[in-house]
Amino acid sequence: MSATASTRTRPLWRTLAIHLALIVTCLVTLYPVLWVVKLAVSPAEQMSASANPLPDLQAIDACAAASPHSAWPRLSCALRHFAEVTTTTTSQGTWLFGRQLLNSLVVSTVSTLIGLVLAVTAAYALSRFRFPGKQLGMQSLLVTQMFPGTLMLVSLYAILERLRLLDTLTGLVLVYATTSLPFCVWMLKGYFDTIPRELEEAATMDGASSLQTFVRVVLPLARPALAVTALFSFLNAWNEYILAATLLNDEASFTLPVALKRYMGEYTVEWGKFGAGALIVSVPVMALFFALQKHLVGGLTAGGVKG
Amino acid sequence: MLVAFSGPAFAADERPAPLRLWHAYRGGEEEALEQSARLFTQQTGIEVQLLGVPYDAFSSKLQSAIPHGVGPDVFIFNHERLRSFRQMGIVAGTDDFITPGDYLPNALAALRLEGRTWGYPLSLKNLALYVNRDLVPKAPRTTQEWEQQLTRLSNGKDRFGLAYESGDFYLHAPFLFGFGGALFDPDTGRAQFDTGPMARSLAFVKGLQDRHYIPSEASGALVKSLFNDGKAAMVISGPWFAGEIDTMRIRYAVAPLPVVSETGLPMRPFLGVEAAYVSPNSKQPEQAQALARFLSVGDAALLRVKLGRQIPANVAAYETEQVRGDPLVASFRETAQHAMPMPNTLEMSRVWEPMKLALRGVLQGGVSPGEAGLLAERRYRALNRERPPDASPWPWIAGGVLLVVGAVVWAVRRPRPKQSFQKRYPDTVRALAYLAPAAAGILVLVVVPLAIGIGLSVFHYEGGQYTFVGSANFVDIVASRGYRITEPLSFYFTLAVTVLWATVNVSLHVSIGLALALLLKDPLLRFRGVYRVLLIVPWAVPNYITAMMWKGMFHRQFGAVNALLDALGIEPVSWFTHWSTAFAANVATNTWLGFPFMMVVALGALQSIPHDLYEAAEVDGASKWTQFRRITLPLLRPALLPAVILGTVWTFNMFNVIYIVSGGEPGGATDILVSDAYRWAFERNQQYGFAAAYSVLIFLVLLGYSAFTRRLTRASEEVYA
């Protein structure tokens, strides 16, 4: 293989230089993240001025010394904020954090599924069929991404109210699924364009219906793009804050970002809890990234985001 | 706007429905409220559903929910917003239920408007002087004494005599009043800025900062940690600060703010009153009134003191053993007597932004105390647009009708294409079936809100009412009325900043992303997977978290960036005082969160370039650089171009980073178009119409951009497809 050859012939200093460059970039990239980890595991609520992004072990030791009765004093000190964040309950005693985590998971998953089904069919039509207004449709999809979203809040609220979907997770799911649609359609349409039509023509020759061709031939081929699009939708829903905060009126139906935002109060910021909450919100998404990162490259290939 | 009527069916049985109570409390204050609500349920049998709302979403949530009948029965808010709540019709009068004698007179006065009372005062919030008793045995009575103490207690480096959030006008107001200033013209009631006392009070504070008696750019977190570390001997803050003090380490006392020696006047802080309001749309008005009243008196007031460390407005509370023996409450009660009830007028709400600008300008050194008043005055005039004259909607309606008729005529008279419709578009029916679900969703939840948003742009919103003003909003923006086009408020200035912002960011995203992709291209590189996973981490972090994270990193005193600079022997930079550094901080944040996307796109595209092209080039003796220029770049172009276009649109509308990291500082100069539009809508007297017009212009700019890029993509498809 030629790639092997080129690696073998590459001088050692170049390999080292590449690794050095990558290591430095990784360090710069991870620095802010480590900083949040530090906030989360420091027993104190406040920030401290230090360039060192690693947790302050002395502070943890000091905290551990102050609470000798605990079985694992260091660990319980370091995880204090996590415990505080995850064990919140309502005044009735229901486990609020668990409920909110479930809300976030359900809303993100369902809106991803709905969004994907809608986007896949629409993108396929835009990629394969000839019909009037196609160009206009594609352009206006892009255009909807351009209107500043915060200003749609007032009218969105009124519409959901009219549909009796206010303060329900269903309403939130529908809003998330549709607001991420334009982007998903764009991405998938680009990917479908790169799949050769010959395959479908062959299937049609064999007597498959249009729908069968789509489901049996095109969709399996588009798997990487589907994975990436699903990831985007999921992220979009998982991370959204302002719509959820406005449209939901019940603590038990809040999603995690809204709960997290409450640690930034009017007068004070609970930095420790914020750090712990931020990690809890980010970790599932990162896990998903891990799982899908192979597809991430494939799904965004040459035609992946082509218009 | 139409107010929809929605009445949920009443339960058939007689048990009352639970009352909904909304608040933005945290910690002890929240706990006190929860316990009081439980007491109420015990005594009356009526359930109370509490909802803690994030503070920054609270007000907009109330405004949207209550008129639609889905809001709370009772909610807790500061009295400053009372007038706007009243205008929106979201508070009910309480005169029939309240006993005026239950409350401190100035607290009750704060809730009076139009000769009626609107709510039940819960607690008082005002500023006082916290002193560390080990460092300051006797609190200063006059500013002269104060300055002497400050000289002794500051060391010019990391010890300060005093710490407070000096960039916030709420904390500066006592200085202004102490120097004899009045915020409002006594004759006209209009806000005034360019006065002698204003200049003297600003000069005084600037003097404290120049002598390093107070830290510059102090945030709440800094003030707290300085005081708890014994590095700040005194703090100006409110009752909420008591809960932040580490009483294991610090013995403290609370004293009134000193008297200004020059004028002999006390430094009077603003008095804020927290109140329980009743919604006029409550289904159970009497029970709601009972709950609100219950929260303001008796045991609830005592719980408030005990758990929430709040200063009750209830007179009877001060008679109890518990409150009498509480030094914090007693001292705040005393300081509250001198406090000046914050006016709940519209004019008051207009003061903040101009004053913030002037105050920060002086403290950061760009503006002299004498000029600051004029600066604030100018900003005030620019922000408070006079209401445009009403316009007649008929020409617009006629224009619309004409447009529709024209379109129909054009469609009918258009020359028929040679082929039949069926021939040209054979798949229309099938396409429709595939498209319908997505189209329906987009229509209802994207297009309709968008159309409403656009429609608002020809209206003016004031005091809960929309009036038709035609193109006045657009004319004001485009003609830059009220400010020069080189000022941060002008559309053109903001547009220039936005274009620069998008260009710089996207170039950085692409170049960093591409460079990393080239490094990672080789499939046999060791640890390639690890590097790739680590490098896409920023993409996985929610962007509002990223923004808050970086805001903390650029903090003047605590930020990791300044700590790093310090370790390298470079003077710490105060990032948000100059346009260039504030802009750089925004760019750094956005670059961090945006490069992984471009990296992944470029990586995918690189892998799809056939390897034989390079081999052929190698045979022909082309250098690596030539290969990059002649093979890699041209073949990347079709993949990168759409990513760049999309990235540009995202960056153009990247609200979170700007709003959270620099917050538009200094003086709105780093705001981009979207964040400015948001401010016009939600932070500058709710000029919804103006903000909508602003959004329409943003939209047009992007539309122009997309027309331009369509040409680009088409050109690239023709060349490389």
In contact, A158 and B1? CB cutoff 8 Å:
yes
Query: How does residue B463 score in pLDDT terms, banded at 50, 70 and 90?
Result: low
CB contact under 8 A, B535 and A300: no
Residue B11, pLDDT score? 41
| Identity at B569, one-letter amino acid code | G
Instruction: Enumerate the β-bridge partners of residue A306.
Output: none
Q: How far is B631 from chain A (nearest CA, A)?
A: 14
Q: Closest-CA residue in chain A for B447?
A: A144
* pLDDT at residue A43 in the model: 77
Give the pLDDT of residue B150. Answer: 93
Residue B47 has pLDDT above 80, yes or no: yes
- Closest partner residue to B563 (CB to CB) among A50, A91, A149 is A50
CB contact under 8 A, A157 and B560: no
Quick check: is B676 in a domain? no
User: Hey, are the CB atoms on B543 and A124 less than 8 Å from each other?
Assistant: no
Exposed/middle/buried for A217, CB within 10 Å: 0-12, 13-18, 19+? middle
Look at residue B524 and tell me if it is in a domain: yes
Distance from CA of B198 to the nearest CA of A (A): 26
DSSP A89-151: B-TT--BHHHHHHHHHHHHHHHHHHHHHHHHHHHHHHHHH---TTHHHHHHHHHHHTTS-GGG
Which one, of B67, B334, B372, lies nearest residue B194 by Cα?
Answer: B372
B186 shares a domain with B51: no
Averaged pLDDT for residues B294-323: 90
B40 part of a folded domain: yes
**Is the Cβ of A49 closer than 8 Å to some Cβ of chain B?**
yes
pLDDT in tens, B322-335: 888 888 888 888 88
Give the chain B residue whose CA is nearest to the CA of A238: B542
Given this model, what pLDDT does residue B173 score?
94
Give chain A positions within 8 Å (CB) of B431.
125, 129-131
Between residues B251 and B80, the one the model is more confident about: B251
Q: What is the CATH number of the domain that holds B177?
A: 3.40.190.10
Residue B104 shares a structural domain with residue B140: no
The model's pLDDT over B685-706, given as tens digits with 9 standing for 90+, comes to 678 888 888 888 888 888 888 7
**Shortest distance, CA A122 to any CA of chain B (angstroms):** 5
Do B243 and B293 lie in one domain? The reply is no
Residue B133 has pLDDT above 50, yes or no: yes
In angstroms, the CA A156 to CA A245 distance is: 13
Query: Identity (one letter) of the amino acid at B685?
Result: N
pLDDT at B274: 92
3-state DSSP of B318-380: HHCHHHHCCHHHHHHHHHHHHCEECCCCHHHHCCHHHHHHHHHHHHCCCCCHHHHHHHHHHHH
Distance from CA of A72 to the nearest CA of B (A): 24
Same domain, B536 and B599: yes
Query: How far is the C-alpha of B198 from the C-alpha of B131, rounded, in Å?
Result: 26
Q: Do B703 and A143 make contact, defined as CB atoms within 8 angstroms?
A: yes
Neighbours of A209 (CB within 10 A): 11
Lowest mean pLDDT among B222-226, B368-372, B556-560, B596-600: B556-560
Per-residue pLDDT, B204: 95
Distance (Å, rounded) from C-alpha A199 to C-alpha A221? 10
By C-alpha distance, the chain A residue nearest B713 is: A307
Question: Is residue B191 domain-resident?
Answer: yes
* C-alpha to C-alpha distance for B630 and B612, rounded to whole angstroms: 14
CA angle, corner A256, sides to A250 and A262, nearest 5?
A: 75
Q: How many domains does chain B divide into?
A: 4
CB contact under 8 A, B449 and A257: no
User: Rounded distance, CA A103 to CA A111, Å?
Assistant: 12
Top-confidence residue, B234 or B573 = B234
Q: Domain check: are B424 and B366 in the same one?
A: no
Closest chain B residue to A258 measured between Cα atoms? B54
Low-confidence ranges of chain A (pLDDT < 70): 1-9, 45-51, 67-71, 90-93, 148-151, 265-269, 296-307
For chain B, give the mean pLDDT. 85
pLDDT band (50, 70, 90) for residue B1? very low
CA angle centred on B14, ends B10 and B20, rounded to 5°: 60
Partners of residue A239 in chain B, C-beta under 8 Å: 542-544
> What pLDDT shows up at residue B218?
81
What residue of A is the nearest CA neighbor of B690?
A151
Query: Among 3.10.180.10, 1.10.275.10, 1.10.3720.10, 1.10.600.10, what is the CATH number of A96-299?
Result: 1.10.3720.10
**Phi, psi (degrees; rounded to nearest 5) at B25:** -75, 160
The arithmetic mean of pLDDT across residues B97-122, rounded, is 91
CB A81 within 8 A of CB A40: yes
For residue A51, count other CB atoms closer than 10 A to its CB. Answer: 16
Specify the pLDDT at position A212: 85
- Which residues does B565 contact at the CB level (< 8 Å), separation at least 6? B571, B572, B573
- Provide the pLDDT for residue A250: 78
Residue B717: φ, ψ to 5°: -65, -40
Residue type, A247: L
Q: Under 8 Å CB-to-CB from B428, ≥6 apart: which residues? A: A129, A131, A132, B421
Whether the predicted pLDDT of B399 surpasses 80: yes
> Which chain A residues are within 8 Å of B567, Cβ to Cβ?
51
Residue linked to tokens 């803690």: B52
> What CA–CA distance (Å, rounded) separates B317 from B301?
7
- How many Cβ pairs within 8 Å bridge chains A and B? 354
From chain A, the residues in CB contact with B537 under 8 A are 29-30, 33, 286
CA-based end-to-end distance of chain A: 34
- B665 has pLDDT over 80: no
Share of chain B above pLDDT 90, in %: 33
B-contacting residues in A 172-211 (Cβ below 8 Å): 174-175, 177-179, 181-183, 185-186, 190, 210
Residues B637 and B528 in one domain: yes
Residue A117, both tokens? 């089904």
CA of B569: how far to CAs of B66, B356, B535, B565, in Å? 56, 32, 29, 6
CA distance B313 to B107: 6
The minimal CB distance from A265 to the residues B55, B442, B539 is found for B55
Q: Hey, which of B19-33, B254-268, B347-361, B414-428 has the most confident mean pLDDT?
A: B254-268
> Which pLDDT tens digit goes with each residue over B562-581?
888 888 888 888 888 888 99
Domain extent, residue B179, equals 128-268+350-383
Contact by Cβ (8 Å): A268, B237: no
Rounded to a whole number, what is the distance in Å from the CA of B215 to chain A's nearest CA? 15
Domain membership of residue B481 (yes or no) is no
Residues B562 and B665 in one domain: yes
Helix (H, G, I), strand (E, B) or coil at B672: coil
Cα separation of the two ends of chain B: 51
The DSSP-derived string for A173-192 is: HHHHHHHTHHHHHHHHHHHH
**Containing H/E element for B167?**
none
**Interface contact flag, A154 B435, Cβ < 8 Å:** no
Q: Which residues on chain A are in Cβ contact (under 8 Å) with B18? A: none
- What's the pLDDT at B721? 39
* B261/B219 Cα distance (integer angstroms): 28
Give the number of other CB atoms < 10 A from CB of residue B338.
18
Q: Looking at chain B, which residue has its C-alpha nearest residue A176?
A: B445
What tokens appear for A121 in the block? 């069919």
| Portion 208-237 of A in contact with B at CB < 8 A | 210, 235
In this structure, of B4-8, B255-259, B620-624, the range with the lowest mean pLDDT score is: B4-8
Least-confidence region, from B36-45, B372-381, B534-543, B678-687: B678-687
pLDDT of B255 > 80? The answer is yes
**B615 min Cα distance to partner chain A (Å):** 9
A303 touches chain B (CB under 8 A): yes
Which is nearest to B49 in space by CA: B27, B12, B20?
B20
Contact B88, B62 (CB under 8 A): no
Do residue B190 and residue B285 come from a single domain? Answer: no
Contacts of A40 in chain B (CB under 8 A): none
Sign of the dihedral through C-alpha A294, A296, A298, A302: negative
DSSP string of B36-105, one letter each residue: HHHHHHHHH---EEEEE--HHHHHHHHHHHGGGT-S-SEEEEEGGGHHHHHHHT-----TTT--GGGB-H
Neighbours of A163 (CB within 10 A): 14
CA distance A112 to A183: 13
Of B430, B638, B691, the CB nearest to A210: B430
Q: Are A278 and B549 within 8 A, CB to CB? A: yes
CB contact under 8 A, B681 and A151: yes
Shortest CA distance from A253: residue in chain B = B51
CA A56 to chain CA mean position, Å? 30
Q: Are residues B247 and B358 in the same domain?
A: yes
What tokens does B9 get? 């069916």
Distance from CA of B600 to the nearest CA of A (A): 6
| Mean pLDDT score, B228-232 | 91
**A67 Cβ under 8 Å from any chain B Cβ:** no
Give the pLDDT of residue B442: 83
Residue B261: the pLDDT is: 93
Q: Are residues B378 and B521 in the same domain?
A: no
Query: Using alpha carbons only, what angle is made at residue B607 by residues A215 and A200, rounded to the nearest 5 degrees?
Result: 25
Q: Does A66 touch chain B (CB under 8 A)?
A: no
- Nearest by CB: A146 against B539, B567, B702: B702
List C-alpha distances in Å: B247 to B166, B251, B252, B659: 24, 6, 8, 35
B560 has pLDDT over 70: yes
Residue B210 lies inside a defined structural domain of this protein: yes
Nearest C-alpha neighbor of A281 from the set A226, A244, A248, A229? A244
Q: What is the pLDDT of residue B102?
A: 92
CB contact under 8 A, A33 and B692: no
Residue B100 belongs to some domain of the structure: yes
Instruction: Identify the pLDDT of residue B641.
Output: 82
DSSP-assigned beta bridge partners for residue B278: B74
pLDDT beyond 90 at B584: yes
Domain boundaries, chain A: 2-78, 96-299
Tell whether B222 and B321 lie within a shared domain: no
> DSSP letters along B511-558, please?
HHHHHHHHHH--TT-TTHHHHHHHHTHHHHS-HHHHHHHHHHHT-TTT
